[in-house]
Amino acid sequence: MNGIESAPAGAVRTGLLSVILLSYRSGERLRTAHAKVAAVLGAAQIPFELVIMDDGSPDDSYAIACELEKAHPNVFAYRLSRNCTSHYSIFAGLSVCRGDCAAPIPDDEQQPYELLVEMYRRWQAGSQVIIPHRSIRADPPVSRWFSQAYYGLMNRFSEVKYPEGGADLFFIDREVVDILNQRIHPIRTASIAEVLRLGFDPVFLPFERPAGLNRGGSRWTFRKKLRLAADTFLSSSAFPIKLIVMLGFASSSLALAAMAFYFTAGLLGDRWLLADKFPRGWISLVLLISFFSGTILLSLGVLAEYVWRIYEEVKNRPGFIVRKKG
């Protein structure tokens, strides 16, 4: 059975929060991030662990993370073997965290640390998935346009529905963490897309995203953004395959209709569309090529549909999740 049982959203609860700090070329910024997270969560009396996930930084970021680990019992430092991008860091952090709930956050302060408190309170009240989304973005116009185009494309042609302004982070219950760890393959996808796909009645929490600390330019280059967009779209949507099928069917159907019209006109003696204007046999050749090209395209689309279904099986995503009664 391709399903998973999970615990229901219950009454007010308490538990350990795993904050997964995404680090790449962070340097001394890690000390600042730790101090601010500790201050915010300490003031709110929220128990937490800080999982620093270094994404293969070439500088001393991991060494600083290890120093923080030695100095603080609730800090844990990990490092990926190479730079894999933050989405892989999120999956890696979820695989090692121990908390009753978890939230990845960047080290550049584009998501205010105070938001952790509000999301934790929502989790205490019973929500299992909380999605902070950007109501206002302090981004360059080109970046905003690219984001709007990407999220619009995903919402229109995929099974993943993003909130207004888009989102790439989340706050999730332990049950959801376990599902992601056990049933989701992290290759060529995004953690936020997989979380949104799972359901659990997500609560969307708008916030104003500040410019953050990377004022010299985002570490997400256009090439990385384009690759991520392609990976998440192709892993979440069968629309390109359906488009190939529709184009193949339309091409072969139009060619077949034109062939029927052409030969019917020839039999009836209407020579105005025949060889007076074109070399002998040219129209027949073009129509035959169009017909068989459309047929080939249609066949490729049908084969791609089967490959897509195999891909869905290999990904082993849960087809449904049964939420237990309290």
Beta bridge partners, 75, equal 50
Return the CATH class of domain 3-237. Answer: alpha beta
Per-residue pLDDT of the chain (326 residues; tens, 9 = 90+): 344 444 444 446 779 999 999 998 888 899 999 999 999 999 999 999 999 999 888 889 999 999 999 999 999 999 988 888 888 889 999 999 999 999 999 888 778 899 999 999 999 998 999 998 876 665 667 667 777 787 777 778 877 888 877 788 899 999 999 998 988 878 777 888 889 888 888 999 888 776 655 544 556 666 776 777 777 777 777 777 777 778 777 877 787 777 777 777 666 555 555 555 656 666 667 777 777 777 777 777 777 777 766 766 666 665 544 554 54
Q: In the prediction, which pLDDT does 8 show?
A: 46
Structure tokens at 96: 């090692």
Strands (DSSP E) along the chain, which ranges?
Answer: 3-6, 17-23, 48-54, 75-79, 101-106, 129-137, 171-173, 203-209, 320-323
Distance separating alpha carbons of residues 265 and 284, to the nearest angstrom: 13
Q: In the prediction, which pLDDT does 318 show?
A: 55
Of 88, 236, 96, nearest in space to 160 by CA: 236
Q: In the prediction, which pLDDT does 274 show?
A: 53
Which residue's entry shows tokens 């350990």? 16
Q: In the prediction, which pLDDT does 305 show?
A: 72
Domain spans, the chain: 3-237, 239-319
